[in-house]
Amino acid sequence: MITKTNYQVTNFYALLIGIDYYRENPSYESLKGCVRDINLVADYLKKTLKVSEERIFKLTSSNPEISNVVESEEALPIYENIIRKFDAITQAAISGTQVYIHYSGHGGRATTIYPELKRNGQPDEGIVPMDIGDQQGRYLRDVELATLLKRMTDKGLIVTVILDSCHSGGATRGDDVAIRGGKGGIDTASRNAKSLVAPREDLIKNWLALTEGTASTSSAGRWLPQTRDYVLLAACRPSEFAHEFAVSSKQRHGALTYWMIDTLTSSPSGLTYKVLHDRISAKIQSKIPQQMPMLLGEYDRLVFGVEKGSLQYAINVLEVIEEDLEPKRVLLSAGIANGLGVGARFAIYPFGLTDFTQKKEQIAIVEIIEVNAIDSWADVIEILRHSTIDQGAQAVMLSASVDLVRNVRFLKKSIGKAEQLSQAVADQQEATLEVVEKLIASNGWLRLADGKQKEDYQVAVNNQGEYEICVGTPLKNLLPALKIEDPEAPQKIVQRLVHLVKYQVIQELSNQFSDLTNQIEVNLLTQPNWRTGMPKKPQPFPDPTNLIVKTGEVTFLRIKNTSSQVLNITILDLEPTWAISRIQIERQERVFYPFNPGQEMLIPIKFNLPNTTRYDQARETLKVFVTIGQNDFRWLELPALDQEIVKKAAGLTRANNPLGKLLAAIGTDANEQPPVELTRAAVTVFDPSQEWTTKEIQITLIK
């Protein structure tokens, strides 16, 4: 995140809980990325937000397999200590204080000890302290957690909760990937039912108050009954797993935590939690399609803020180089450490100005050409008004560059370990990966990651003698499987990587800072058993955060233009087969569809699982592009992964604006290098001045 000089959050407390090592128990194996998550968050709070160390409470349990750190007894995340830290913060903080709670570890489900609150066999859910295996080991259950949080919000504290763990059971697997959930589903063991949070009658009374006096009969998955008084960002939906994976083949992190900090350090500041969630979701979905984060509560509140809406912080101009009395180059006080890259654009405001919504005050637009560790050089590419750029002038990010060329690293496995290679496959591994490496070196869409670069993809060989592509975890349903003995397989795996690059760039496209974002409404509605000719009376899904659609079921996509101008709409369907197609919403097919001011449309859409037995369920995304100008989104269409990408240049138009150039750049033929000048500033993602935005709907398809 880009911050003001000396910007400091003073009215702030944080409770950070990370559990790698679990004392011996039958259900929860130790992890390897949770303490690293907590250290990553703590560094961000201290270095970027300038939160004092005394206000950051940490409870961690390091795994002795990967760390020599031994925590003191009072710093361990055991049941008693967790409750004690909650109480300490609640007592110390005054009304209006921000409280940030981040948990990385196992999530668990257990037979309820509150049968009067849970019906139909619904279990208790909660976080799993490190001492769950002790004789008196206890979960911190949802009923208890709800009371701890209510004490905070009743006092007027502004609470944010991040849960990087599963809601449901899972199992650890593999050497570089783990699931943050128990192995046995619902824990039926008899456990100590005495709570240290409050007397049983108080816990029950509080839960009933939060659920408006009714016992819960819904399916499990929502740890907390009501979140309107705070923000809850959870790693995954109730039926999914929260993954931790090895970043750059080395250090594990939770996917939610890693991409949250990555987003905050590489994006314009002033993010709302909704925008943060959208960016994290796009990142995680492009890497781990089977995990979708959940956002509940005050989604329009600023991240680490108390206000709602949009607010931008700035960085300083350290130095100005002029030629003929005109500014030509500036040195900015942010660099690689702040997540900046070549091609990012900033607007320069006068020294002393703090209201960055006044666009008429902008002096110039600059583009970063050289990035250092803590500062960056930027060329002045447009002078908006003749005024001196002084040292201390403020620079506000307008756009972040999109890199259409992605990094690839090769993962060579060893023999004999779990999920590693047999001797027969290992003998062929070296030679077959070398062939792919040479092909990648000559491909314009891919580059080989060096030791310092973070890879986007890993290529490996599995024990069945098949190529696999990993993005944190091996991507599923890359069909058909490519066998290493097939002489055409190396070329096919490179083609497959280019296809994935295009798909995932489109998946990540977003422009949530556009003024259009709040001028279009998009949601998916349900009307069971609807047939053609019946009245359209769709209703919201029971759980809008977890859209589950049966194959063949008709749903309704609702789009409404709430602005005072005509908006052009294009709907892309990002399919489970890695295909991208446009959805036709009128009888006459168009490149885009104009929506008049106030116009609302209900579009019936039927989803179907791919015609293969490999799909019991699948994830599908509807991505709605909204523009004022006329852009041709046919550039973004892709066939299924097992089909060749055809040439597109003939018959397609390229609008002469940043979005049009971006679409054409993504659509560049797979055997050609994307235009160099379009891998930088022209491919704008964050830019409030650009007249386009996107809305996304994620659904889970089941049989």
Tokens in use for 253? 């992190």
Looking at the structure, tell me whether residues 266 and 340 fall in a common domain: no
- Percentage of the chain exceeding pLDDT 70: 83
Looking at the structure, tell me whether residues 470 and 543 fall in a common domain: no
Tell me the residue range of the domain where 651 lies. 509-702
Instruction: Find the CATH number of the domain harbouring 335.
Output: 2.40.10
For 260-286, what is the mean pLDDT?
Answer: 76
In 26-53, which positions are buried (b, 16+ CB within 10 angstroms) versus exposed (e)?
Answer: ebbbbbbbbbbbbebbbebbeebbebee
pLDDT of residue 35: 95
What is the chain's length? 703
Contact 335, 292 (CB under 8 A): no
On the question of a cis peptide bond just before residue 115, with omega within 30 degrees of 0, the verdict is: no
The answer, yes or no, to whether residue 638 has pLDDT greater than 60, is yes
Looking at the structure, tell me whether residues 548 and 671 fall in a common domain: yes
Does a structural domain hold residue 96?
yes
Pairwise CA distance, residues 23 & 33, whole Å: 17
- The residue from 399, 425, 445 where one domain ends is 399
The answer, yes or no, to whether residue 579 has pLDDT greater than 90, is yes
For 116-123, what is the mean pLDDT?
Answer: 81
Looking at the structure, tell me whether residues 433 and 552 fall in a common domain: no
The answer, yes or no, to whether residue 184 has pLDDT greater than 50, is yes
Tokens in use for 558? 């609702």
Alpha-carbon dihedral angle through residues 222, 226, 228, 232, given to the nearest 10 degrees: -30
Does a structural domain hold residue 628?
yes
Name the domain count of the chain.
Answer: 4
**93 CB neighbour count, 10 Å cutoff:** 21
pLDDT of residue 480: 86
pLDDT of residue 234: 86
395 beta partners: 315, 348
pLDDT of residue 220: 36
For 67-81, what is the mean pLDDT?
Answer: 94
pLDDT tens track for 309-339:
544 556 788 889 999 889 999 999 877 655 5
Looking at the structure, tell me whether residues 444 and 367 fall in a common domain: no
Q: β-strand 539-540 against 467-471: which pairing, if any?
A: unpaired
Greater confidence (399 vs 274) lies with 274
pLDDT of residue 223: 57
Pairwise CA distance, residues 15 & 1, whole Å: 21
User: How would residue 604 be classed by pLDDT, with cut points 50, 70 and 90?
Assistant: very high
Tokens in use for 658? 């940043």
Min mean pLDDT across 189-193, 337-341, 520-524, 664-668 is at 337-341
pLDDT of residue 211: 74
pLDDT of residue 401: 60
Name the 3-class secondary structure at 406: strand
pLDDT of residue 75: 95
Contact 574, 607 (CB under 8 A): no
Amino acid code (one letter) for 691: E
Does a structural domain hold residue 1?
no
Q: Which of 642, 270, 673 is nearest to 442 (CA)?
A: 673
Pairwise CA distance, residues 314 & 270, whole Å: 10
Does a structural domain hold residue 571?
yes
The answer, yes or no, to whether residue 110 has pLDDT greater than 70, is yes
pLDDT tens track for 495-511:
999 999 999 888 888 77
Does a structural domain hold residue 377?
yes
Tokens in use for 403? 């890199």
pLDDT tens track for 30-55:
988 899 999 999 999 998 888 999 99
Pairwise CA distance, residues 379 & 365, whole Å: 9
Pairwise CA distance, residues 453 & 442, whole Å: 19
Global pTM reads 0.65
Looking at the structure, tell me whether residues 116 and 150 fall in a common domain: yes
Min mean pLDDT across 3-7, 130-134, 282-286, 485-489 is at 3-7
The answer, yes or no, to whether residue 244 has pLDDT greater than 80, is no
Taking each helix axis from N to C end, the angle separating 79-92 and 142-154, rounded to the nearest 10 degrees, works out to 10
- For tokens 């398809």, name the residue: 701
Greater confidence (597 vs 299) lies with 597
pLDDT of residue 273: 85
Tokens in use for 70? 């031994």
H/E run at residue 99: strand 98-104
The answer, yes or no, to whether residue 619 has pLDDT greater than 90, is no
Looking at the structure, tell me whether residues 77 and 194 fall in a common domain: yes
Q: Which of 613, 611, 520 is nearest to 563 (CA)?
A: 520
Does a structural domain hold residue 384?
yes
Looking at the structure, tell me whether residues 391 and 419 fall in a common domain: no
Residue 172 — φ and ψ, nearest 5°? Answer: -65, 150
- Percentage of the chain exceeding pLDDT 90: 37
Q: Which of 504, 495, 506, 507 is nearest to 670 (CA)?
A: 495
Q: What's the chain's Rg over C-alpha atoms? A: 26
pLDDT of residue 609: 87
Looking at the structure, tell me whether residues 630 and 495 fall in a common domain: no
Does a structural domain hold residue 19?
yes
- The residue from 233, 268, 297 where one domain ends is 297
The answer, yes or no, to whether residue 703 has pLDDT greater than 80, is yes
Pairwise CA distance, residues 499 & 575, whole Å: 13
pLDDT of residue 680: 40
pLDDT of residue 305: 77
For 90-105, what is the mean pLDDT?
Answer: 94
Looking at the structure, tell me whether residues 63 and 110 fall in a common domain: yes
Q: Can you point out the beta strands (E) in 191-248? A: 230-234, 243-247
For 220-235, what is the mean pLDDT?
Answer: 68
CA 467 to mean position of chain CA atoms: 27
pLDDT of residue 414: 80
Amino acid code (one letter) for 680: R
Looking at the structure, tell me whether residues 280 and 422 fall in a common domain: no
- The residue from 399, 419, 454 where one domain ends is 399
Instruction: Report which listed range, 80-84, 203-207, 276-280, 394-398, is most confident.
Output: 80-84
Question: How many Cα neighbours within 13 Å face the side chain of 146?
Answer: 22
Tokens in use for 238? 């109730």
Greater confidence (149 vs 312) lies with 149
- Average pLDDT of the chain, as a whole number: 82
Instruction: Report which listed range, 238-242, 287-291, 355-359, 593-597, is most confident.
Output: 593-597
Pairwise CA distance, residues 297 & 273, whole Å: 9
pLDDT tens track for 348-407:
988 767 667 677 889 999 988 888 877 899 999 999 998 889 887 888 877 656 677 888
Looking at the structure, tell me whether residues 513 and 495 fall in a common domain: no
Does a structural domain hold residue 309?
no
61 beta partners: 19
Instruction: Find the CATH number of the domain harbouring 18.
Output: 3.40.50.1460
pLDDT of residue 219: 37
Pairwise CA distance, residues 293 & 166, whole Å: 10
